[in-house]
Amino acid sequence: MIWNGDTLTVFSNPLELRNDIDSLRPKLFGEKDASINTACWRGYIAEWTIIENEIYLTNIFSCNFFDDGIKSDLETVFGSEYNSGKVKASWINGEILIPKGEVIHYIHDGYESFYETELVLTFKKGILIEQKEYDNSKSYKSVFSENEDSLQNFIYSNIDWNKIPDLNDGKERVFISIQSGETMKPDSIRILRGVESELFNQEALRVAKLIPEWNVYYRHGEVYRMTWTFPIIFDEQRRKKYDR
């Protein structure tokens, strides 16, 4: 999206909001062989421009435009809606999210990743009626969630191995759940799936509660709680490596 001289990424697909999008889709590139890829499921990349608080469709490019140079002829696709190089997007009603700044938390699927700042533009019949900016910069990433080696070393070095009976070739796995909250101290740490012996369950829970910090996430300017699950494994190999 082009707005006030800036080029911004849009976390939505406004063209897909048209009732006639399925009939328009075959016309977008005509007979041209516009290739697609898994990162461009809709089959095109649209360019939008806000001019005097009205949003316009100003280009439709192929998914691999910089390789194939293919883009739509907007006049052919939209007919009388086309005017002076653009199409007024009067079908857009609702919010468009624009992420800004660094990625706080990446999610591969769709537009779910978190960013430092989120700009939300609200449109009514293609006219910009409201804008809000949300600050997510209070988010924090703990080394224990980001680095598996750090988490493993902390957990297994803090287990009181003197309490743990000889396991021979066996293993006991206790699954711990951590839910992040408003501060680096998690909202909850609990046993998600334990074992028959409470000795292992309680030792795993005790050690998990010693973790000094965890992630904090903000989204739309508010605390966003997330849950992580990981196993604490008791076996003789870990005893040998971490017992001191």
Q: Which pLDDT does position 110 carry in this prediction? A: 65
pTM: 0.81
Q: Which pLDDT does position 112 carry in this prediction? A: 81
Q: Which pLDDT does position 93 carry in this prediction? A: 96
Q: Which pLDDT does position 35 carry in this prediction? A: 74
CATH of 143-242, one of 3.30.1150, 3.30.160, 1.20.1060, 3.90.550: 3.30.1150
Long-range contacts (CB closer than 8 Å, 24 or more residues apart) made by 49-52:
49/1, 49/2, 49/3, 49/86, 50/1, 50/2, 50/3, 50/4, 50/121, 50/128
> In Å, how far are 15, 184, 230 from 51, measured between CA atoms?
18, 43, 50
In the chain, the largest separation of any two C-alpha atoms, in whole Å, equals 81
Distance CA 175, CA 127 (A): 51
| pLDDT tens for the 244 residues of the chain, in order | 999 989 999 998 999 999 999 999 999 998 888 777 777 888 899 999 999 999 999 999 999 888 889 999 999 999 999 999 999 999 999 999 999 999 998 887 667 888 999 999 999 999 999 999 999 999 999 999 999 999 999 999 999 999 999 999 999 999 999 999 999 999 999 999 999 999 999 999 999 999 999 999 999 999 999 999 999 999 999 999 998 7
The token duo for 197 is 């012996």
Q: Where are the domains of the chain?
A: 2-135, 143-242
Nearest to 96 by CA among 167, 8, 192, 207: 8
Q: Which residues contact 33 (CB under 8 A, 6 or more apart)?
A: 68, 70
Q: Which pLDDT does position 40 carry in this prediction? A: 81
The token duo for 160 is 């009181």
